[in-house]
Chain A
Amino acid sequence: MDRRLPPRDGEWIDRSQSVEFRFEGATYRGFEGDVLSSALWANDVRLLGRSFKYHRPRGVYSLAGHDANLIVEDGIRTNMRGDMLAVSSGLDVRSVNTLGGLDRDRLSITGRFGEFLPVGFYYKAFHTPRRLFPFYENQMRKVAGLGRINSANQRANSPKDYAFCDLLVVGAGPAGLAGAIAAAEQGLDVLIVDEQQRPGGSLVWQWADAATAREHLEGLLEQLAAHDNVRLWCGTQAAGYYGDYWVALVDDTHLTKLRAKSMLVATGCFEQPAVFQNNDLPGVMLGSAAQRLIQLYAVKPFDRAIVLAANSEGYRVALDLNEAGVDVAAIADLRRDGEATELAQRVDDAGIRVYRGYCVYEAVPAAGNKRIRGATICALDEKGVPRSEALTRIDCDGIAMSIGWTPNGGLIYQAGGRFTHAEHVEQLIPQTLSPGTFAAGRVNGVFGLESQIDDGYRAGLAAAAHLGSFTGDVPPSPSHYESPSSHPYPIIAHKGKKNFVDLDEDLHLADFENAHQEGYDNVELMKRFSTVGMGPSQGKLSNINAVRILARLNGATINQTGTTTSRPFHQPVPIRHLAGRSFHPQRRTPMNHWHVRHNAEMVYAGAWLRPEYYRVDGESRDDSILREATHVRNNVGLIDVSTLGKLQISGPDSVEFLERIYTGRFAKQQVGRLRYGLACDETGVIIDDGVIGRFSEDRFYVTATSSGAAAQYREMQRWAQIWNMDVTLVNATGHLAAINLAGPCCRDVLQELTSTDLSATAFPYLALGEAIVAEVSAKLMRVGFVGELGYEIHVPASQAMHVWEALMQAGERFGIRPFGVEAQRLLRLEKGHLIVSQDTDALTSPFEADVAWAIGKNKTFFVGARSLAILRKKPLTRRLVGLMFAASDAGTLPEECNLIIANDELVGRITSIAPRSTLGYPIAMALLSPDLAKIGTTVKIRVDGGSLVEAVVASMPFYDPENSRQNVQAES
């Protein structure tokens, strides 16, 4: 059956564009402009979804996305809302959470067990016997949940946007449009957003009987168009407000992050349902939903209907239904005095019977509950109690409810505003607004059409005044003293217990009474126990009724009862819009592409990419690494160490400054020499290390670990200020690249590229100088991290590739090979050099790490010194030591962080281990109890499988204990 009405002015559908789509396996036709809900209803499909708990049939309810009755999935996307989903050719969707399809949903049987499943029932059972709980939970998980994810769904990026404006207007209804015009007239840059596809708000569906409504809308839009400084974005929600007018705007395709200077909230209200038996079945809907069906989509909502009213809007709904050809059998007006405006006369003229002081007692279901076939109404006594002994039955297939509104005020709350319940309008209205926030229209408790426009205009001027663009007088807010649009208690008890307060969670009135009885008697406990408002519509249609019920149960006012916290998002936001393109910054050294071209296995070290090793065909990773290390020991290798922190410290107070930051002494450090730098934090824990080079009396060059460099620099800057020292700090980490050349032949290689005398006497171990290398200005150091003759060359990043290639070329006849991070780690382990944060942890002191020698003698102060003085008095509980394994153990070696066990106690752990070394046997570093730290002691380490492996405490360095290789005094 086709419920489509003849074409009407202002309809949103395009009848020239017919669209074929599938729902639950059946094919239907609709038009461009239809949403799924409207297209289905037009085809007289009333069963649109099944509820979460009882699988009750559900149909159109708000047609505005305020309810979650129609949720569908298409196999790729899930949890799509029927009210907001445009029909398009090829759309093929099914309702979520049914067993065997919507029509025959086998889970509807749960409805019969309602008596056994009161609110919070799952807390009362299923936990004993314990062994059965996992089974029960599994079943519950299967019936809970709505849509299914599609694990094959491809990741899609939704690039984000930024936007700026002076005034954000949320809502393009009469108040919002008027406000935007007022602000634009004062020169503000205005952005209006509205979540509907077209502007107009309630003007397009509520005021159809007022001939002026369309004129108003056209007039407002025309005025708006006359200003350059206004943008209108439809299909866009303001999902949440964040500090300093940072607002998340979300449309179908992406997220825009808006920085506004002020915000005008003209978001209107959510029409509220009445609570009566079977108020959830298809055919029962909000009055505004019926109006939207008629005005926007030209769909006749019902054949025969009654209207439950408590305000003027209800009478409008009756007239609209009548005009659309619906047989309006009656209006049941909850108010004893009925309607005071001229609408009462017009309803009378239309021959619609009005029952004053009546409620709907129940909606009468047709067989199968898939639609209603009537309503029973009755009078209310003076106390508002239904006279259920005298019921009047009216046949109908629809009940439209117009009993009240609640403000869509989330953004106001989030911006720090407060609402108060005003009894004269029986509604929450804004009480305080944060500076820069303005409210207008129905969200502000202003309901008349002209009043809304005036209120909007006023708010726009107020915004302009706030921003200093308007210096005139801002008119006062129109009074809220109009006849209340909301009924204070539209809730009718029924022993059938299918009078729903929250449709998402299938909570009926008795559930609240029961929860209250159990002591969940304040709004937060009530929410958490009953789950009211926790479903997909987040309480838009249930929160205020729940508050009304709770207030009555407590004998308190609504203000005393309070509400729950309003949080983003207004409507749910897809993860991919929030994620955007997921930028992950990478830091690459100047030689990065060279490494890649030479088969380097690149790995992440923080955000940096570094070569782990260079792959060789037919060779395993471990073999390659050992080969690279062996080559350095025997020949010459070079490694890109550009990620190293590099800090330039200069000025008259440099020495004093460094002596305070690092544990060592530098006053007597020679110019042209390096010293080891160890830095601790205030608690005495090691945080960084490197070398400290002196270029002149007051000019130093300091290296830091790659991961610690930024923090070290930052903290140095702070200390420099606190100590008020005359020192200049420059972080050259990214500006300079660094190359480490090491191995017995390395001097020969380097000498070809520089005229600086590299002889052992001229440039001894730990020497530092400025040199020209491969025609590039370089800082040159002789270092020993890997334990061979070695130089570190620091050059500007822009010239590093040239120097690297020059070194490779000069080294060719010596057999130079690049080596990666893993080989370097092996080489330094052979020399017993610790790596901060691998061989040390968040609590390791210099005493434990065996680097107390780096603490300068007789120093009056350095960061951490005072704490170290305290720690020094305590017995050491662990020490960094070297361990050796028998060469034959190669198969069953521990991994890093395997633990050392003695007498079933934990006495230490492996911090670094090399299963294969250039020495021919496995070596390791470990933190170990000092009792066992004597050289030659055998210790046992528990490996992953649980067995114990033996190792022997050995002195470090393992390799070249005399350091003759790195200190090379004589010529090679």
Chain B
Amino acid sequence: MPLRSGISIMKIITCPINGPRPLQEFHFGGEVRTMPDPNSATDEQWADYVFNREGEPGLKREWWYHVPSGTWFIAERDNRTDEFVRTFLYGAEECDG
């Protein structure tokens, strides 16, 4: 149910399209994972992709979604300090300096 009360609004995240917005406007989409080729992956490799996560502490690459504008983007965030190091559109990082 998307319209639930109690969503955090105190942090500010910079959406690559909309600029700094309160956390309430975002949805967390989990870590960025690369799908292996389903046709050549073994059952075990496939299950690993589907379920396993890089849960260790550190700098993470994550999917975040700005709900009001429907913008998906990638955030590099430290999952210990909650510091957003940078945010960028998927695919834009190759162009980044």
* Interface set of A (CB-CB < 8 Å, partner B): 242-244, 246, 582-585, 587, 606-607, 682-683, 707, 710-711, 713-714, 717-718, 721-722, 724, 731, 860-861, 865-867, 870
**A721, closest chain B residue (CB):** B90
Interface pair B63/A714, CB less than 8 Å apart:
no
Selected from A246, A682, A711, A860, the residue in CB contact (under 8 A) with B39 is A860
The 6 nearest A-B residue pairs measured at CB: A246-B10, A866-B38, A585-B3, A242-B10, A243-B11, A710-B2
A571 to B47, CA, bound (A): 50
CB-defined contacts of A682 to chain B, threshold 8 Å: 50
Q: Inside 8 A of B59's CB, which chain A residues have their CB? A: none
Q: In the bound complex, do residue A243 and residue B10 qualify as a contact, i.e. CB atoms below 8 Å apart?
A: yes
- Are B1 and A866 in contact (CB-based, < 8 A)? no
How many Å from the CB of A837 to the closest CB on chain B?
12
**Closest CB-CB distance, B78 to chain A, in whole Å?**
13
B: contact size bracket = 20 to 34
CB atoms of A870 and B5 under 8 A apart:
no
Report Cα–Cα, A174/B38, bound state, in Å. 69
Contact B46–A867 (Cβ < 8 Å): yes
Q: Is B82 an interface residue (CB 8 A)?
A: yes
> What per-residue 1/0 map shows which CB atoms of B22-59 lie under 8 Å from chain A?
00000101000001001101010011001100000000
Residues in A with CB closer than 8 Å to B35 are: 722
The reply to whether B10 and A707 contact each other, CB–CB distance below 8 Å, is no
7 contacts across the A-B interface (CB closer than 8 A): A243-B82, A246-B10, A714-B70, A717-B65, A718-B65, A718-B72, A721-B72
**Residue numbers in A under 8 Å from B50 (CB-CB):** 682-683, 867
The CA-CA distance from A659 to B38 in the complex, in Å, is: 15
Residue B19 is within 8 A (CB to CB) of chain A in the complex: no
Q: How far is the CB of A713 from chain B (nearest CB, A)?
A: 8
A9 to B5, CA, bound (A): 50
Q: What residues on A are CB-neighbors of B1 within 8 Å?
A: 606-607, 707
Chain B residues with Cβ under 8 A from A860's Cβ?
A: 39
Q: Which of A242, A583, A861, A866 contacts B41, CB < 8 Å?
A: A866
Other A-B contacts than A714-B65, A717-B70, A721-B90, 10 sampled, CB-CB below 8 A, are: A242-B10, A243-B11, A243-B82, A244-B11, A244-B12, A607-B1, A721-B72, A865-B38, A866-B41, A867-B46
Q: Indicate whether B97 reaches chain A with its CB closer than 8 angstroms.
A: no
Cα A866 to Cα B11 with chains together (Å):
38
Contact residues in A for B70 (Cβ distance below 8 Å): 713-714, 717, 731
CB of A861 to closest CB in B, whole Å? 6
Q: Which of B82-97 contact A (CB under 8 A)?
A: 82, 90-91
Chain B residues contacting A866 (CB-CB under 8 Å) are 38, 41, 46
Q: Which chain A residue lies CB-closest to B38?
A: A866
Verify B38–A861 contact, CB threshold 8 A.
yes
Most buried by A among B5, B10, B12, B82: B10
Residue from A607, A710, A724, A870 within 8 A of B47 (CB atoms): A870
Q: Is the CB of A721 within 8 A of B3?
A: no
Find chain B residues with CB under 8 A from A587 CB: 3
CB distance from A88 to the nearest CB of B (A): 35
Chain B residue nearest in CB terms to A607:
B3
Identify the closest chain B residue to A720 (Cβ): B72
Residue in B closest to A723 when the chains form the complex, CB atoms: B35
A684 (CB) vs chain B CBs: closest residue: B50
> With a CB–CB cut-off of 8 A, which chain B residues contact A585?
3
Quote the shortest CB–CB distance from A413 to chain B (angstroms): 16
Q: Which residues of B contact A711 (CB under 8 A)?
A: 2
Contact indicator A718/B41 (Cβ below 8 Å): no
Enumerate chain A residues within 8 angstroms of B2, measured Cβ to Cβ.
Answer: 710-711
List chain A residues, Cβ under 8 A from B51: 683
